[in-house]
Structure 1
Amino acid sequence: MSTKQGLPAPATSGRDVRGIIAQRDLVVDLIRTACVVLVVVVHITMVGVAVGPEGVAVTSPLQEASWYVGATWVGQVMPLFFVVGGFASITGWRSTVARGGGARDFLATRLVRLYRPAVPLFVFLALGLGVATLLGTPGDLLAEIAFGIGSPLWFLAAYGITQCCVPVMVRLHERAPWWTLAVLLGLAVAVDGLRFATGVAEVGLLNLGPVWLFAQQLGFLWADGWFARRSRVGLAVVAVAGYVALVPLTSVGLWAPDLLQDLNPPMLPLALLAIAQACLVQLVHAPLTRLMRTRAAQGAVFVLGRDGMTIYLWHLPLYIALTGIALLVGVPFPDPGSGTWWATRPIALVVVLAAALGVARALRWFDRPLARLAPGADRPAWPVLVVAALCTIGPAFVVMQFHLSLAAALLGVVAIPVGVWLLGRTVPAVGVQRI
């Protein structure tokens, strides 16, 4: 989900920035940025802190609202995240191939871009959980806080898996795009069916592939201009059909009408939602393009989008940390879910985004991409790349499956830097002798 690909670096000259803007579909950057901000909004409205005679309690005002379930049909943007990611991935893959690179170069570059920014986060989480444990924080409260802080990390695992599949999935897309989509959708149905038949929730982990790869393939179609060539009426019909299909699907008692519950592990409704969202994006593409011609929109997307990955990774830890500081200094807390509490959410959003941008500035060193390959060099051999992928994806997968803990954080502190280091190694290309 790295937002850096399509946006100019801070040192880029004004003329270069204008050239980049003229060549890009900035709607992609706008949507990616908007999705990140919406995720932050969801989380700061889902976590409420109440202070009473019995101490501090954590509640979920958003989930207690009467309109919450309906809102998830709009606010569940993760399928769109993967659609946009598919657009960026196939564009990045074709750029790699055009400059003479291959699958190993693409995977190493993408995984480092995704996981190196996570290194300081896991260090921070390990230190925080370790100190809290030593200070005797009640286990139940610490587990609840850790669960909330670690909940967004599932994305690192899921997106890392889809990135590893990009070279193969692009090849399938170019040879048989519709068969590929059909097979992925069929696999998603089969996995959900097996999960319901066995009653084993862990079976759903198999859908980390089909559901998110299905959304990614839609992004491939978007990059190829397929959605742009469709009529507005056709796109509207498909989008409406996608949402209409969700009504009976989520009413039979197998899939939850709360589309956030269908997220981990991912389930079939998210694939249908991805179709509807991709069509809706194309329907509003023209006005969004006009919006992105304004300096205000470009500036907002540049500021927030450039550090989108850091904002995503750090917003919940920062929100919890800032809340803790506020408790220590005696800031009065309104009752979660009250009118006053909802009125303070925009303030909380601005504070969290500002703090995340500050962290991004401080940690800019970790957000640098891999250097381009020198002539005659290549990325490490496939066995090394596989080990590196396991080291980087593994800790996030552990958090996704078993929730955040001190042990999981320490695993990330050790494994992710090792994986990033391995990905950055180079070897002579095939047929090139080392001098």
Structure 2
Amino acid sequence: MSSAAIDTTPRTAPAGRDLTLDLARVVCVLLVVFVHILFTGVGRNPDGSLLIEKTVEAQSWFTAASWIANIMPLFFVVGGYAARAGWRSALARGDTADTFVRVRLARLARPALPLLLFLTIALGATRMLGVDRALVDTVAIGVGSPLWFLAAYMIAQAFAPWMMRLHERHGAWVLLVLFAAALAVDALRFLFFGGVLGIEPVRQGGGYGLGQELFGIPNIVFVWLFAQQVGFFLYDGWFARRSWWQLVLLMAGGYALLGGLVSLGGYTQSMLGNQWPPTATMAVLAVIQAAALTLLHVPLTALMRTRAAQGVVFLIGSRLMTIYLWHLPVIMVLIGIELLLPVPLPAPGSPVWWWTRPVFLVVVLAVVWLLSLWLIRFEKAPAPGIPRVPSRAATVGAVSLFVVPVIAITAYGLDFPLAAAAVVSAAAALWLTRSTRG
């Protein structure tokens, strides 16, 4: 390597770390923020009443774009890569699987707790002030929609030590079993409960109550564990050992399989509709996106050798959970301020609305950055010490306490009782897994 190349690398870059994975995380989160901005179309009807629509979803190109832009599977692929690296470091330190899971829980529950508390207070205030319930439900469901990731990612990370052992013993067979299980859940959901029994979803507060969607809940385990397992293969270098044309064929075969699955019925044409509850299509996307990331590894590595790219990635990466969790509340608050100002709002979907979305993205990120100056403390999980309750049962209970209310929020829609329950549960989970010393 030339001295010039060495000079362009900041001393803060960890030796041996693949910075392209950090870049992938940052890009994924920023894409999620921008897509949510495009979903939030708020304006005024001709009669002056409030208009709320999912503007981007109504575009003719949205379905096709979702086959590329739905990058949520990549989060779990990268998470699997990081888990494998973290588990090896944990073993070198002499940490147990229990300690590994407790640290992962703290990294998710700590930044989530302030948001859940804020949502509980905000929803309680709307009840006391008598704000229109339908409007509150519409906003709350939108704000609560990204929370599913907390539950799914925590489940995947909690299983990671045991899934890595299975990966080392059985390799690709684990992928095949998980994918078969995901297909079985989809068949049960779409063909049996949707077809034979004819159970239809029942809306409760904008979320889904009793209905066939709930029969897809087991795929939170099978689909996202599959994506995480793909991350183990990425870490082991399986994708890197493939030639470029093999990776292209893998991606082409993946998209052909996606087309075949969608043609069977039950699956939605839009990949966004297959995200909750997750279907086997998300597992296929995980493989496609892992191959695409590998294809782009050389140019991304070159980019991440520059100081500018590393500075941006490290700055945003240090507050990634804050950006993910708080961007939608910030979007809603900023739109509320816009509605109060005596200026006309651009009509959702109009040329002015589209051209101002990048500007709105910058404003949202700036406000979230200001919030992160205080919230970033919650992203720093304390070093593991002596557990307050040193038992595996306590860890399992803590993970369950954190996960169950979040799944309920995603399934039924965010409201005051569920938000309050999530606060209590997250606090209890953190207490159970807290160490008596750092």
Q: Common fold, TM-score beyond 0.5?
A: yes
Asked if the contact 1:104–1:379 (Cα under 8 Å) also holds between the matched residues in 2, the reply is no
Report Cα offsets for 1:260-281 as digits up to 9, x if no partner: 0000000011111111111111
Deviation digits for residues 373-407 of structure 1 (CA, Å, limit 9, x no counterpart): 26xx7972012112211222222111111111011
The equivalent of 2:182 in structure 1 is: 188
Q: 1:96-115 deviations in whole A, cap 9, x for unaligned?
A: 11100011110100100111
Please say if residues 388 and 434 of structure 2, whose CA atoms lie closer than 8 Å, have aligned partners that are also in contact.
Answer: no
**Contact preservation (8 Å) 2:189, 2:216:** yes
Going from structure 1 to structure 2, the CA distance change for 1:116 and 1:50 (only over 3 Å counts) comes to same
1:153 aligns with 2:147: yes
Instruction: Give the Å deviation of 1:253.
Output: 2.4
Q: 1:198 aligns with which of 193, 201, 220?
A: 193
* Amino acid in the other structure paired with 2:285: L
Look up the SS of the partner of 1:58 in the other structure: strand
Moved more, 175-184 or 134-143: 134-143
- The verdict on how the C-alpha distance between 1:368 and 1:223 changes in structure 2, with shifts beyond 3 A counting, is same
> Residue 380 of structure 1 contacts residue 426 of structure 1 at CA under 8 Å; is this kept in 2?
no
In the alignment, the residues of structure 2 paired with residue 152 and residue 283 of structure 1 have an alpha-carbon distance, to the nearest angstrom, of 29
Q: How big is the shift at 1:330?
A: 2.7
The equivalent residue for 1:281 is 293
**Contact persistence 1:380–1:425 (CA under 8 A):** no
Q: Which stretches in structure 1 are left out of the alignment for 5+ residues?
A: 1-13, 428-435
8 A contact 1:392–1:416 mirrored in 2: yes
Identify the residue that residue 122 of structure 2 maps to in structure 1: 128
Match of 2:164 among 134, 150, 170: 170
One-letter identity of the residue aligned with 2:373: R
Q: Out of 40, 50, 54, which is 1:47 matched to?
A: 40
Distance in 1 (alpha carbons) for counterparts of 2:111 and 2:214: 28
For structure 2, list consecutive stretches of 5 or more residues without a partner in the other structure.
1-6, 195-211
Is the CA contact 2:182–2:223 (under 8 Å) kept in the aligned structure 1?
yes
Looking at structure 2, the residues matched to 115 and 360 of structure 1 have their Cα atoms a distance apart, in angstroms, of 16
Equivalent position to 1:386, from 373, 383, 396: 396
> For residue 224 of structure 2, what is the aligned residue in structure 1?
212
Q: Residues 171-222 of structure 1: CA distance to partner in whole angstroms, max 9, x if unpaired?
A: 0011111110110011011111111112222110010111111110010011
Aligned equivalent of 1:250, options 253, 257, 262 = 262
Aligned partner of residue 226 in structure 1, secondary structure: coil
* Equivalences, count: 412
Q: Specify which of 354, 358, 366 is matched with residue 370 of structure 2.
A: 358
Offset of 1:248 from its aligned partner? 2.5
- From 390, 409, 431, the counterpart of 1:421: 431
- With 274-283 and 410-419 compared, the bigger mean Cα shift is at 410-419
SS at the partner of 2:43? strand
Paired residue for 1:293? 305
Structure 1 Cα separation of the partners of residues 271 and 393 of structure 2: 38
Q: Check whether the contact 2:223–2:278 (CA below 8 A) recurs between aligned residues.
A: yes
Q: Is the 8 A contact 1:86 1:220 kept in 2?
A: yes
The alignment partner of 2:94 has SS state of: coil
Query: 2:80 corresponds to which residue?
Result: 86
Q: Deviations over 1:150-177 (max 9, x none)?
A: 0000001111111110111010011111
Identify the residue that residue 431 of structure 1 maps to in structure 2: none
Matched, 1:403 2:397: no
What's the TM-score once normalised by structure 2's chain length?
0.91
TM-score (norm. length: structure 1): 0.91
Q: Distance in 2 between matches of 1:301 and 1:379?
A: 37
- Flag the 1:288–1:16 CA change in 2: closer, same or farther, 3 A: closer
In 1, are the aligned partners of 2:9 and 2:307 still within 8 Å (CA)? no
Aligned to 1:372: 384
- RMSD of the TM alignment (CA)? 1.8
1:74 to partner: Cα distance = 1.2
Q: Is the 8 A contact 1:188 1:210 kept in 2?
A: yes
| 8 Å contact kept, 1:108–1:379 | no
Deviation at 1:326, TM superposition (A): 1.9
SS in structure 1 opposite 2:393? helix
Identity of aligned residues (%): 45
- Structure 1 residue 270 and structure 2 residue 282: aligned? yes
Partner of 1:430: none
Question: What is aligned with 2:207?
Answer: none
